[in-house]
Amino acid sequence: MIVARVSRCAVFLLAALSTAPAWSADAEQPAVDPVVLAKIRDAALSSDWAWQRLSDLTDKIGPRLSGSPGAEAAVVQVAAALQAAGLTVTLQPAKVPHWVRGEEQAELVDYPGHPAGLTQHLHLTTLGGSVATPKKGLTAPVLVVHSFDDLKAHAAEAKGRIVLFDNAFDQDLADNGHAMSAYGQAVAYRVQGASAAARVGAVASLIRSVGGADFRLPHTGVMKYEDDAPKIPTAALTAEDAMWVARLAAQGPVSLHLTLTPQTLPDADSHNVLADLPGSDKPDEVVVVSGHLDSWDLAQGAIDDGAGITAAMGAVQVLKSLGLQAHRTIRVVGWMNEENGSGGSKAYFAAAKDKLAQQTAVIESDSGAGKPLGVIASVTLDSLARLSAVSKALQPIGATALERRDGEVGADISPLQDAGVPGFAPMVDTREYFYYHHTAADTLDKIKPENLRRQVATMAVLAYYLAEMPEPLPRVPVKAE
């Protein structure tokens, strides 16, 4: 691992040395005036406009799952705020799934040493997209496994049972700056667990919640049924309750009664919100700065993704308030339906796909509102040196890291990235992001106003720079299938 890291840094250094940074003394002319970038940063740091928008979105609307009244209220509220800020607003139609949670309950029916007549409730939440149990619930013995391999090893015992995937979120990874890797590993059980369990005959499946910091909070999130397996109901237990069931199961047979009554309604009509700050002389060329409008239904969706969409809104509002107009159009996109289907992302791509050359760069913020540390860029190696002016402008707030990554840096922008458009995300401290992610505790109080201001500054400087640089960054080579 260490060898790989060293060699990657060496490559980066060579690349950086081979091209003079735009702001260095020997560069003839900075690509974008550093004084203007500093002015943008400072204006963002002294504005509470984005915070007000985030307060409106979370405290006055709250949960915004696709197809819900909250999601539609968010479209209206965000569009109105961007219009009032002086931007040209369009609503882009998108079809979205409409899933409603219903009742969610589980009790331990039997376990070794169970005192007669005692009922113990488990804390859980249904996973998005799950089918229902029978109305009165189902009762079945539990099979605890710790991985997909473990399930395979115990496949013969799964028939007629409720499979519990007791897989722990790796908080150590998150604590060391790799929260998204920890998420990626654990989320496989949330997404694929039900079908894996159904394939070996299970009647329902449960996971241990995908998240750190155990406050006995269940974390919801989307799951997916595969075509080759029956659809069985599925939910997430809190980490504590998953460990509890696993401890009991280690002593002998455990049975649960599980009642989940979600419904999948017909797809709904919804919208992305697009708001343009038109370019001065290349108005057809677009830089997207974005976050998603929808959230899970358990909470206010402050960190996921109220912070992202309002930081994107704030970034363009700051530019507008300074009277700045870049060469290219800067477009706020409030995506609909990131959480359970990406209907908004698909609609935008379908509308843009015949003129993809006009999409010059895409930014999405969807990792919460921890302290910004810099910028993640999915760009060619040569492009990094051209972005050093952004890092320099963000030096006073410490957001100087510039990390190149291959592949997706935001779910909604991934179709554009897959087509070669350079993609960006603010790099933020995510150590605590999965404490609250997709739980009832994703509320406004979790966000520090100064961190949101810093994120607005990061996105505003980056968006303006990308829209103002004389030539757009080169396309990223598309990987062969």
- Tell me the HSE value of 281 on the side-chain side, using a 13 A CA sphere: 5
CB of residue 414 to Zn ion, shortest distance in Å: 13
**Contact region with Zn ion (CB under 5 A), list: 72-80, 162-170, 358-366, 430-438:** 358-366
User: Which residue's CB is nearer to Zn ion, number 64 or number 392?
Assistant: 64
User: Which residue's CB is nearer to Zn ion, number 311 or number 469?
Assistant: 311
15: number of Cβ within 10 Å? 16
**Contact region with Zn ion (CB under 5 A), list: 80-88, 131-139, 299-307, 399-407:** 299-307
Q: Which residues are identified as catalytic?
A: 338
For position 285 contacting Zn ion by CB under 5 A, the verdict is no
CA distance 463 to 279: 12
Among 72, 170, 297, 305, binds Zn ion (CB under 5 A): 305
CB of residue 439 to Zn ion, shortest distance in Å: 13
For the chain, report the end-to-end CA distance as a whole number of angstroms: 27
CB of residue 19 to Zn ion, shortest distance in Å: 34
- Scan for tokens 């690509």, then name that residue: 31
User: Which residue's CB is nearer to Zn ion, number 366 or number 468?
Assistant: 366
Q: Given strand 138-145, what is the order of strands in its sheet? A: 120-122, 104-110, 255-260, 138-145, 162-165, 204-208, 234-237, 124-126
CB of residue 425 to Zn ion, shortest distance in Å: 11
**Contact region with Zn ion (CB under 5 A), list: 17-25, 236-244, 297-305, 387-395:** 297-305
Pairing state between β 263-277 and 88-100: antiparallel
CB of residue 366 to Zn ion, shortest distance in Å: 4
**Contact region with Zn ion (CB under 5 A), list: 180-188, 298-306, 314-322, 440-448:** 298-306
Residues 100-139, one symbol each (x = binds Zn ion by CB under 5 A, - = not), give ----------------------------------------
- Scan for tokens 């840096």, then name that residue: 409
> CA torsion angle for 320, 332, 311, 177 (degrees, to 10)?
-140
User: For residues 458-477, which are near Zn ion according to CB under 5 A?
Assistant: none
User: Which residue's CB is nearer to Zn ion, number 72 or number 366?
Assistant: 366
The pair of structure tokens assigned to 409 is: 């840096």
Among 304, 364, 442, 468, binds Zn ion (CB under 5 A): 304
**Amino acid making up residue 433:** Y
- CA 469 from chain centre, in angstroms, equals 28
- Scan for tokens 């449960």, then name that residue: 206
For position 412 contacting Zn ion by CB under 5 A, the verdict is no
Pairing state between β 423-428 and 138-145: unpaired
User: For residues 193-212, which are near Zn ion according to CB under 5 A?
Assistant: none
User: Which residue's CB is nearer to Zn ion, number 329 or number 365?
Assistant: 365
User: Which residue's CB is nearer to Zn ion, number 295 or number 383?
Assistant: 295
**Contact region with Zn ion (CB under 5 A), list: 119-127, 210-218, 364-372, 442-450:** 364-372
460: number of Cβ within 10 Å? 31
CB of residue 206 to Zn ion, shortest distance in Å: 23
The site for Zn ion, by CB under 5 A, has a size of 3
Tell me if 279 sits within 8 A of 472, measured CB to CB: no
User: Which residue's CB is nearer to Zn ion, number 285 or number 366?
Assistant: 366
9, exposed or middle or buried, with CB in 10 Å at 0-12, 13-18, 19+?
exposed
The pair of structure tokens assigned to 243 is: 């460990």
- Scan for tokens 């015992």, then name that residue: 157
E-strand ranges in 241-300 read 255-260, 263-277, 282-292
User: Which residue's CB is nearer to Zn ion, number 72 or number 412?
Assistant: 412
For position 366 contacting Zn ion by CB under 5 A, the verdict is yes
User: Which residue's CB is nearer to Zn ion, number 202 or number 363?
Assistant: 363
CB of residue 296 to Zn ion, shortest distance in Å: 9
CB of residue 447 to Zn ion, shortest distance in Å: 14
Tell me if 324 sits within 8 A of 313, measured CB to CB: no
Task: Evaluate the omega torsion of the peptide bond into residue 442 and state whether it is cis, within 30 degrees of 0.
Answer: no
CB of residue 313 to Zn ion, shortest distance in Å: 16
- Give Rg (Cα) of the chain: 24
2: number of Cβ within 10 Å? 6
Sign of CA dihedral 331, 430, 387, 319: positive
Of 372, 374, 432, which is closest to residue 405 (Cα–Cα)? 374
**Contact region with Zn ion (CB under 5 A), list: 18-26, 32-40, 186-194, 304-312:** 304-312
**Contact region with Zn ion (CB under 5 A), list: 108-116, 139-147, 340-348, 362-370:** 362-370
Residue partners of 421: CB distance under 8 A and separation at least 6: 356, 359, 360, 361, 362, 413, 475, 476
Q: Footprint of Zn ion on this chain (CB under 5 A)? A: 304-305, 366
